[in-house]
Amino acid sequence: MADTIFVTGLSLHAYHGVMKHEQKVGQTFAIDLTLHIDLAEASRSDKLANTVSYDQVVDVAARAFCAHRYRLVEAAAGAVADAALASFPQVSSLRVTVHKPHAPIAATFVDVGVSIERSRA
């Protein structure tokens, strides 16, 4: 399916990480979401009922990402994916990318993070 709804660069402060200072102070993460959904009916009807609302996507993602303190961003990304699939039955699959711009790495880098893809079984 080629239709998608996306949110790019959602900034959320959370306390994910293995290091003690990450768990105490936290940091701002950036999340990108791409939801695969059939938008044919929404494009014809022009009705919100035939799609998924961006603000609901952001709300579900933010609540799932910030609800717990994860050691791994992989787990945080998985929680977002699971919550989105549970909340939006119209979504057939999705990709969640979590950027960790302040990862405690002794190197200069532009970006680091994870991307996961999930779909309905």
The single-letter DSSP state of residue 90 is T
Q: Which of 33-47, 55-69, 98-112 has the lowest mean pLDDT?
A: 98-112
Strands 4-14 and 27-37: antiparallel
Give pTM, 2 decimals. Answer: 0.92
User: Whose structure tokens read 């799932």?
Assistant: 64
CATH architecture for segment(s) 4-119: 2-Layer Sandwich (3.30)
Q: What's the rounded Cα separation, in Å, for the pair 119 and 98?
A: 18
**pLDDT of 32 over the 60 cut:** yes
**What are the sequence ranges of the domains in the chain?**
4-119
Chain mean position to CA 10: 8
| Residues annotated as catalytic (active site), given as ranges | 100
Q: Which two tokens stand for residue 107?
A: 């190197």
Beta-bridge partners for 6: 34
pLDDT of residue 1: 57
Beta-bridge partners for 17: none
pLDDT of residue 107: 86
